[in-house]
Structures are given as C-alpha cells and as structure tokens.
Amino acid sequence: MIQINFRDARPIYEQVRDGFRQLILTDALPADSKMPSVRELASQLTINPNTIQRAYRELETEGYIVSVPGRGSFVRERGDAAAARKKELLEKFDALTAELRLLGLTDEELKEHIRGESHD
C-alpha cells in the first residue's frame, strides 16, 4: 500500500500523506473506504504512531479523509479534495512560474518544459 523510503529527503509523515493522497486521487482507495488504523499502519511500516497520526491529520485538513470518533478514518468523496488540491497546486505553479520569469525564462521555454520538450 504505502512505501517508505528512508533515503528520501522528505519527512516520513509527508511520504505517508503523499502516498495516501495518490491512492485516493487514483481511486485505489475509493470514497467511503476505511483507512488502516494508526496503530495497524505504524506497526506495518515500523514507524511511530505519531507520524501516522500527523499524516492523517494533514489528509483530514486537506479534505481527503474524515475521522469518525470510535470508528476510524474514512476516505471522503474525491471531488472537493481534488478541486482544493488543484487550486493549491496552481497557486504554487503561478508563484514558481513568476519566479522563473524573473530569472529570465521565456513563456515559450516554460511551455516547452511543461510539454516535456526541454533539453536542459
């Protein structure tokens, strides 16, 4: 399900969060699916339960999952979370492209890079 790469520069909770985010966005974890319990996943991945809890908390804040007291965490309907994530990523994209333009990249070079045609 989720793979942890201890050589990855990202913190483990981010790897867990990003892994679940990808599973949810690709419908590998469809809406209303029960998430593994914090304890179960921590044991499976041999990491601290607090790390899993932090990843789940962020997924809930981002709208990907919902916690039901006494029952666990469940995947939410994808539409709202996907729209919010797109908006967030496009805002980051706009900031990055603005900075790249300040560094001298032309619109055409940006378009080539987006299309995968850059030859850096």
For 51-110, the pLDDT digits (tens) are: 999 999 999 988 899 999 999 999 998 776 677 778 888 988 999 999 999 999 999 999
CB 51 within 8 A of CB 6: no
Query: Which pLDDT band holds residue 1 (cuts at 50, 70, 90)?
Result: confident
Q: What pLDDT sits at residue 58?
A: 94
Same domain, 70 and 84: no
Same domain, 88 and 54: no
* Residue 2 included in any domain: no
Same domain, 69 and 85: no
Q: What pLDDT sits at residue 118?
A: 67
Same domain, 72 and 94: no
For 35-56, the pLDDT digits (tens) are: 999 999 999 999 999 999 999 9
Count of the separate structural domains present in the chain: 2
Same domain, 43 and 93: no
Q: What pLDDT sits at residue 117?
A: 80
d(CA 14, CA 82): 18
Q: How many CA atoms lie less than 13 Å away from 21 in the CB half-sphere?
A: 20
Query: Which pLDDT band holds residue 26 (cuts at 50, 70, 90)?
Result: confident
Find the domain containing 51 and state its range: 12-76
CB-neighbour burial class of residue 60 (10 A; exposed 0-12, middle 13-18, buried 19+): middle
